[in-house]
Amino acid sequence: MAASRCSVRRLLICFVITVVYLPLSAEADRGDWSAGVSSSLGKPSGDTALAWQLETDLRLGLTDWVALEAFGAFRVHEGPGAGVGLGLVVMADIFQWVPELALGGLIHCGQDGDGAWATSAGVRAELRGRYFLSMKSAIFIRGGLSWLASGHTPFVGGGWLYLLD
């Protein structure tokens, strides 16, 4: 019984150091800028056709664990469309493989199946795995979900990121 209490105590100490202390004290990515391009495929809810999206991203490191990210996208699904968004990326940037969680808002304008233009706002959430090729560039895979007034779109994709500093 005493051994399990000791294990729980050690686990709690490691958790506090990793989740509380390190994010407050680390500054490796603060002020770092990066830019990237990505592509993804998705299947909008209630539809049989796939949507393809090409995206550019601009990221500013706020801490070693959090970045502000802006993106612009061109999307093809039953007609052309474009969107912009802003969000936060939370990452564990301590390994060559970096897990990330991105949450943000987006505005999309595009043609529907009837050729009419419509604008809608929504939210996007995604999980990513980033792999550093060098100190200046990385590739990533991602999967997520976009929620717009017209429905939701699960998507998968990948891309390339270049550190500008």
Domain definitions of the chain by residue range: 29-163
Q: Residue 77: what pLDDT?
A: 78
CA distance linking residue 114 with residue 124, whole number of Å: 25
Distinct helix (H) and strand (E) counts, the chain: 2, 8
CA distance linking residue 36 with residue 47, whole number of Å: 29
CATH 3.90.950.10 fits 29-163, yes or no: no
Top-confidence range, 9-18, 40-49, 68-77: 68-77
Q: Residue 164: what pLDDT?
A: 86
User: CB-based contacts of 74: which residues, under 8 Å, 6+ apart?
Assistant: 53, 54, 55, 80, 81, 82
Beta bridge partners of 58: 35, 70
pLDDT tens-digit series, residues 69-123: 999 999 887 788 899 999 999 998 777 888 999 999 999 898 766 778 888 899 9
CA distance linking residue 152 with residue 146, whole number of Å: 5
pLDDT surpasses 60 at 154: yes
Higher pLDDT, 28 or 159: 159
Q: Residue 101: what pLDDT?
A: 95
CA distance linking residue 39 with residue 112, whole number of Å: 21
Tokens read off for 139: 């590739």
pTM: 0.76
Higher pLDDT, 22 or 162: 162
Q: Residue 3: what pLDDT?
A: 52
CA distance linking residue 134 with residue 122, whole number of Å: 35
Write down the mean pLDDT value for the chain.
Answer: 84
CA distance linking residue 117 with residue 124, whole number of Å: 21
Please give the distance of CA 17 from its chain centroid, rounded to a whole number: 25
Q: Residue 14: what pLDDT?
A: 62
Nearest to 99 by CA among 64, 127, 125: 127
Q: Residue 74: what pLDDT?
A: 92
